[in-house]
Amino acid sequence: MSILVVGSVAFDAIETPFGKTDKIIGGAATYIAIVSSYFSKQVYLVGVVGGDFPMSVIEDFKQRNINVDGLEIKQNEKSFFWSGKYHEDMNSRDTLITELNVLANFEPKILPIHQQAEFLMLGNLAPDIQRGVLQKLGRRPKLVVMDTMNFWMEIARRSLLETIKLTDVLVINDEEARQLSGVKNLKHAAEAILKLGPKVLVIKKGEHGAMLFAKTGEFFNSPALLLDRVIDPTGAGDCFAAGFLSYLSQQHYISFDAMKHAILYGSVMASFCVEEFGTNGIMYLTQDKIQERYQYLLKTTQV
């Protein structure tokens, strides 16, 4: 089924203990759209870039059957740019540069073709922009998944809470869950967050896996894949969310059991991402590679 992806399409410059990149292609919606394209032939990308963004990348999106009618190009402006440096353990990072550029006045272009989308992925963005997308959609999608980050908890908490209330699945990491809830114990933090409105909460723990909490009280806990190498965590959370949502977009009925498998697909897609800098790890996947890693995850986590 069709997936509408809203989020940043951008340039990143990344430094990790394994090396350093110049400006490379990044942005939440970039990672999400690419991952989703392995699961759905109807992926709609909504975002904004500047005149500096390479047309070859947009061509590549099209080649992947990603519809880019909603990707606005502001010829006289510059694309969003983020630069960051990961610490030794790669679990934390410092932001070195954030140039909002085109994102400063981003108004997602929701076109008639987007109205039919059954799955909506709200990549990390200002929460009022995320909520605006929901308001512009005439009918509510079958499933709304949103990502956010600590930054919005600090500077736009009220708006964030309003957006979370309208969301089906909130996907955040453990530190963000603690910050959002003000509760240290993750079980209690999850309970507090589910009271904010979402039906389901996914807490990502990076190399330590992910946890799935439902308002019904159902719970699932999964380790991540143990990898030979982790080169660059940038985009891993986006790939996780995209794997989760786009696996569900293939299911007729979104049961809790389906969401368990979706968690595993999220882990699989994130695992490819972190093995290379930027989007390199997810650019050249095949269905066989995805299935092989999914089967391996099953084999090594199921008794």
> Least Å distance between CB 47 and its own copies?
34
Q: Judged by CB under 8 A, does residue 219 bind its own copies?
A: yes
Kindly state the tokens that stand for 135.
């308001």
> Least Å distance between CB 51 and its own copies?
41
Q: Judged by CB under 8 A, does residue 291 bind its own copies?
A: no
> Least Å distance between CB 14 and its own copies?
19
Q: Judged by CB under 8 A, does residue 289 bind its own copies?
A: no
Helices 256-274 and 287-301, interaxial angle, to 10°? 110
Q: CB of 238 within 8 A of CB of 231? A: no
> Least Å distance between CB 212 and its own copies?
9
Q: Largest Cα–Cα distance of the chain, in whole Å?
A: 57
Question: How far is it, in rounded angstroms, from Cα 231 to Cα 208?
Answer: 16
Q: Closest CB to its own copies among 76 and 302?
A: 302
Mask: binding to its own copies, 264-283, rule CB under 8 A, as x and -?
Answer: x-------------------
Q: Residue 93: exposed, middle, or buried by beta-carbon count in 10 A (0-12, 13-18, 19+)?
A: middle
Q: Which stretch binds its own copies (CB under 8 A): 102-110, 127-135, 160-168, 295-303?
A: 295-303
> Least Å distance between CB 208 and its own copies?
4
DSSP class of 223? P
Specify the amino acid at residue 61: F
Mask: binding to its own copies, 220-249, rule CB under 8 A, as x and -?
Answer: xxxx--xxxxx-------------------
Q: CB of 53 within 8 A of CB of 78? A: no
Which residues in the 152-191 window bind its own copies by CB under 8 A? 185-188
> Least Å distance between CB 297 and its own copies?
9
Q: Which stretch binds its own copies (CB under 8 A): 111-119, 121-129, 132-140, 219-227?
A: 219-227
CA angle 94, 96, 98 (to 5 degrees): 115
Place of tokens 């959370």: 237
Please tell me the total number of residues recorded for the chain in this structure. Answer: 303
Q: Closest CB to its own copies among 61 and 220?
A: 220
Q: Closest CB to its own copies among 96 and 226?
A: 226
Q: Judged by CB under 8 A, does residue 256 bind its own copies?
A: no
Question: How far is it, in rounded angstroms, from Cα 6 to Cα 295?
Answer: 30
Specify the amino acid at residue 149: M
Q: Closest CB to its own copies among 23 and 260?
A: 260
Q: Judged by CB under 8 A, does residue 300 bind its own copies?
A: yes
Give the chain's end-to-end CA distance (angstroms, integer).
Answer: 33
Q: Closest CB to its own copies among 45 and 231?
A: 231
Q: Closest CB to its own copies among 116 and 301?
A: 301
Q: Is 49 in a helix, a strand, or coil?
A: strand
Helices 28-37 and 236-248, interaxial angle, to 10°? 40
- Which residues are at the interface with its own copies (CB under 8 A)? 185-188, 205, 208-209, 211, 219-223, 226-230, 257, 260-261, 264, 298, 300-303
